[in-house]
Amino acid sequence: MESGWPLDAEPLIFAGGPILTMGDPDRVEAVAIRGDRILHAGSLADCRAVAGERRQERDLGGRVLVPGFVDAHIHPLMLGQTTSWTDVGPERAPSIETLVAVLAESAAGLEPDAPLWAYGYDQRQLSERRHPTADDLDRAAPGRAVYVMHASGHGAVVSTAALAQAGIGSATQDVPSGEIGRGADGRPDGRLMDAAWDLALGPASVKIGRHGPNIHVPDSPEALLSHLEAAQREILGAGITTVFDAQVTRRELEAYLRLRDAGRRRMRVNLLVISSLLDEVLELGLVAPLGDDWLRFAGIKLYADGTLIGRTAFFPDGYPSEPEERGLLYHDPAEYGELLRRAHAAGLQTGTHALSPAAIGLVLDAVEEAMARVPRPHARHRIEHCALPTDEQIARMARLGVIPVAQSQHMRSFGDGAVAAVGKPLGERYHPLGLFARAGVRFALSCDAPVAPPAPLVAVQAAVERRTVHGTTLGAEQLRVDAVRALRAYTIDAAHAGHVEASVGSIEPGKLADFAILDGDPTRVDPAKIGAISVRETWLAGEQVA
């Protein structure tokens, strides 16, 4: 590795508080940096000796220094965009009547022809226990195009005017890998889930067909740049310095390039390109990671099934709570297997969204077949979310080197709903991090923002406690992990999940000088207080950025 150390840069030493390295040793007294790299980590005396006389020293004052967090699965542009929309999450809109009132208030401040966008409803947490309908949205804003995105991002409910603008009516055919909600009379009721959501976004949007939910809502280049900057501020403020954008199209890449060209790029971004673009990726010869430490093409994002929150995760025998509802697969097994095989054979890493045992099994079957044809022992294919694997599937992950990229905050926010959807024995295993650890499976944590906010310390607490927002403890002790393992999953193990552990994820000599300074030690406090620890400073490439 090239050091990247400017010869004329004055070394800077941090000491005076715990330094958690996520390396060996796991704690040191001091760390010295020069330019954008870590020079040494160890005793204060050794750091001073390595740094030399022309050095500065920074007293942590008892605060805690940790590696910059690595979020292995996040949607920054979607985060910034949805933050600019009307919030109809459970806290602000606990019922459909309240949701209608919130939308009506927002609509009153818009120009007559402007669409109204909102985000965050979860039908399981509405008092009526149902999705809103077009009729509900019409009451809020008569004649206006209204779009209310589900908390999962896997679809939305839209108004009658929005249906009409998209040309969606009784004669509209059902969409493969999607669901058009319909009333008893067969007319669309406003609900458009998974691939059906693609229909509502209009010709200006990026189209991804049956390769995933279309989160690529069009906006002006100036607005998208502003949204990305807002997301970047929130991400850096949470101590996250490296992200993996888990669904990239032209829209996202153009926004990142505009951010760079404007001189306002402040986080490291790795791109997982949506599988609808696999042909183009292979035709261009992008068969290995490409880019630099700031912006890097990392691999391909695929989808197996839908969302557990919205009841579109795939259960072939039906949901215990709704036997007639089976969810969906985005591709039949042969089609999915061919997508993964082509990516694998070209040398690419893949990350597949899969929640149910059936969908996870589909991914593992495809990985096993692809690796039998073209052995690649360090491919590190990923399963994004990997929410409900069986014990046998976890053992297969260990054998195949497959990496689960989990979201403990989902367990915190949606764990009660998971139990209600699939029953207690399976639902209490939602995101079974402890089982991964005991099986020798190296997993990563992430937030999946905007589904959950970028808040690594809240994620660590959720992984340790397995307690939902309603006070339910999910499952037995063996499903939990300790704070050290959870921190590793949001730092060095998340870096490993994306093949970037040589440069980020731990405080070790030669690595990039990315770190966060906290006002408490997550490994030494009461687990119930981990999420309340504040990020005081974020440093990236040896400079304070938040």
Read off the tokens for 54.
């022309």
pLDDT tens string 102-111: 999 999 999 9
Report phi then psi at 272, rounded to 5: -105, 105
pLDDT in tens, 68-99: 999 999 999 999 999 999 999 999 999 999 99
Are 348 and 299 in contact by the 8 Å Cβ rule? The answer is yes
Q: How far apart are CA 245 and CA 70, in angstroms?
A: 11
DSSP string spanning 304-319?
A: SB--TTTT-S--TT--
26: Cα separation from own chain's centroid: 27
User: Average pLDDT for residues 496-508, to the nearest whole number?
Assistant: 98
Contact status, residue 327 vs residue 358, Cβ threshold 8 Å: no
Domain(s) labelled CATH 3.20.20.140 in the chain stretch across 222-507
Answer whether 353's CB lies under 8 Å from 313's CB: no
pLDDT tens column, 115-134: 999 999 999 999 999 999 99
CA torsion sign, 99 to 85 to 516 to 460?
positive
Q: What is the mean pLDDT of the chain?
A: 96
**Alpha-carbon gap, residue 26 to 39, rounded angstroms:** 17
Q: In angstroms, what CA-CA distances link 155 with 43, 249, 361? A: 53, 18, 24
Q: DSSP assignment, residue 502?
A: T
The predicted-structure confidence for 185-242, as pLDDT tens digits, reads as follows 999 999 999 999 999 998 888 999 999 999 999 999 999 999 999 999 999 999 999 9
For 417, the enclosing helix (H) or strand (E) is helix 408-422
| Separation of alpha carbons 130 and 128, rounded Å | 6
- Please compute the mean of the pLDDT values over residues 248-262 and round it to a whole number: 97
Helix (H) or strand (E) holding 15: strand 12-20
Tell whether the torsion through CA atoms of 355, 360, 363 and 367 is positive or negative. positive
Task: Tell me which fold the domain 222-507 belongs to.
Answer: TIM Barrel (3.20.20)
Looking at the chain, which residues constitute the CATH 3.10.310.70 domain(s)? 90-150+154-209
User: What local confidence, expressed as pLDDT, does residue 288 receive?
Assistant: 82
Q: What is the 3-state secondary structure (H, E, C) of 426-456?
A: HHCCCCCHHHHHHCCCCCEECCCCCCCCCCH
Q: Collapsing DSSP states into helix, strand and coil, what is residue 370?
A: helix
pLDDT of residue 202: 84
pLDDT at residue number 192: 96
Q: What is the reported pLDDT for 204?
A: 80
Q: Which residue has the higher pLDDT, 6 or 363?
A: 363
Task: Return the ∠ at Cα 69 (arms to 63 and 75), rounded to 5°.
Answer: 140
Q: What is the DSSP letter of 172?
A: P
Phi, psi (degrees; rounded to nearest 5) at 489: -70, -20
User: What confidence score (pLDDT) does residue 445 get?
Assistant: 98
What does the pLDDT average to over 152-167? 96
Q: Which amino acid is at 344?
A: H
Q: How far apart are CA 19 and CA 409, in angstroms?
A: 25
pLDDT band at 6 (very low <50, low <70, confident <90, very high): low
Percent of residues, the chain, with pLDDT higher than 70: 99
Is residue 105 within 8 A of residue 436, CB to CB? The reply is no
Prior bond of 25 cis (ω within 30°): yes
Reference 540, options 55, 40, 36, 74; nearest CA is: 36
Instruction: Write phi, then psi, for 189 (nearest 5 degrees).
Output: -100, 5
Give the integer Cα–Cα distance in Å for 88 and 538. 31
Percent of the chain with pLDDT over 90: 95
Query: Residue 284 above 50 pLDDT?
Result: yes
Q: What is the pLDDT of residues 269-278, one digit of tens each?
A: 999 999 999 9
Residue 17 one-letter amino acid: G
Question: Residue 203 has what pLDDT?
Answer: 82
Confidence of residue 292 (pLDDT cuts 50, 70, 90): very high
Residue 62 has pLDDT above 60, yes or no: yes
Fold topology of 90-150+154-209: Diaminopimelate Epimerase; Chain A, domain 1 (3.10.310)
CB 235 within 8 A of CB 261: no
d(CA 308, CA 414): 9
For the full predicted model, state whether its pTM sits above 0.85: yes
Check residue 4 and give its pLDDT. 47
**Residues 178, 95: Cα–Cα separation, whole Å:** 26
